[in-house]
């Protein structure tokens, strides 16, 4: 089992060109503001305050690189779909993140986080659809599963799978997660291990 023994914050970049050298595989976390990207990174590395979290959407504004065991980068990206963000900020987000996604050659997999409680949202579907046209490998992580019952989890997961199938979109994998009760942690770590061995 992959174990995150060492996790260090490396740098925050406003531009993909300023990111650390692309010499290790990297996994990035993306999704709407407040969906739980930073919290999920902290859960995986078992370090509460490593990635900054907040109850207020729009906390993460830059591309944040964390180096794991000197051999893997985890990347915390700014959230999309933050209604209160100024128009300039939203356009800036698109440019920064789009450029990162299109040009970062060591991006091994993108984790797309979606709040499990909501029906599939247009902004997520548009984004995922764009991803599949760009051949960017991605997995879907349904977050905050501690907020609904087991029965609702099954229904929501089925719903997402059906909706994406309708658009002929096939993620590498689906995960149900909770940063509050560690649901999905082992499965996600195993998946990361698989990605790393495929990249070696």
Tokens standing for 147? 């907020």
Among 64, 96, 156, 178, binds ligand GTP (CB under 6 A): 178
Please choose, from the candidates 30, 198, 12, 188, the residue with its C-alpha nearest in 3D space to the C-alpha of residue 101. 30
* DSSP 8-state class, residue 19: S
Neighbours of 158 (CB within 10 A): 10
* Under rule CB under 6 A, residue 49 binds ligand GTP: no
Give the shortest CB-78-to-ligand GTP separation in angstroms.
Answer: 6
Interface of this chain with ligand GTP, residues 115 to 154, rule: CB under 6 A: 143-144, 146-147
Give burial (CB, 10 Å; 0-12/13-18/19+) of 161.
middle
> Which CB, 25 or 78, lies closer to ligand GTP?
78
Give the shortest CB-116-to-ligand GTP separation in angstroms.
Answer: 9
Helix (H) or strand (E) holding 43: helix 37-45
Q: Name beta bridge partners: 61.
A: none
Among 59, 65, 104, 144, binds Mg ion (CB under 5 A): 59
**Which residues of the chain form contacts with Mg ion (CB under 5 A)?**
37-38, 59-60
Chain residues binding ligand GTP by CB under 6 A are 33-39, 53-55, 57-60, 78-79, 143-144, 146-147, 178-180
């Amino acid at each position: 089992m992959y174990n995150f023994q060492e996790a260090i914050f490396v740098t925050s970049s406003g531009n993909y060109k300023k990111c650390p050298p692309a010499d290790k595989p990297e996994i990035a976390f993306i999704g709407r503001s407040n969906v739980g990207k930073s919290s999920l990174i902290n859960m995986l590395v078992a370090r509460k305050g490593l990635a900054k979290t907040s109850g207020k959407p729009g906390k993460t504004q830059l591309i944040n690189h964390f180096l794991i065991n000197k051999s893997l980068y985890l990347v915390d990206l700014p959230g999309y779909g933050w209604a209160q963000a100024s128009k300039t900020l939203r356009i800036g987000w698109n440019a920064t993140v789009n450029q990162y996604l299109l040009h970062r050659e060591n991006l091994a997999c993108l984790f797309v986080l979606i709040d499990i409680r909501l029906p599939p949202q247009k902004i997520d579907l548009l984004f995922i659809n764009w991803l599949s046209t760009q051949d960017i490998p991605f997995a879907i992580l349904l977050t905050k599963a501690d907020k609904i019952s087991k029965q609702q989890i099954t229904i929501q997961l089925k719903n997402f799978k059906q909706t994406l199938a309708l658009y002929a979109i096939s993620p590498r994998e689906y995960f149900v997660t909770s940063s509050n009760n560690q649901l999905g942690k082992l499965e996600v770590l195993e998946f990361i291990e698989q990605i790393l061995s495929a990249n070696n």
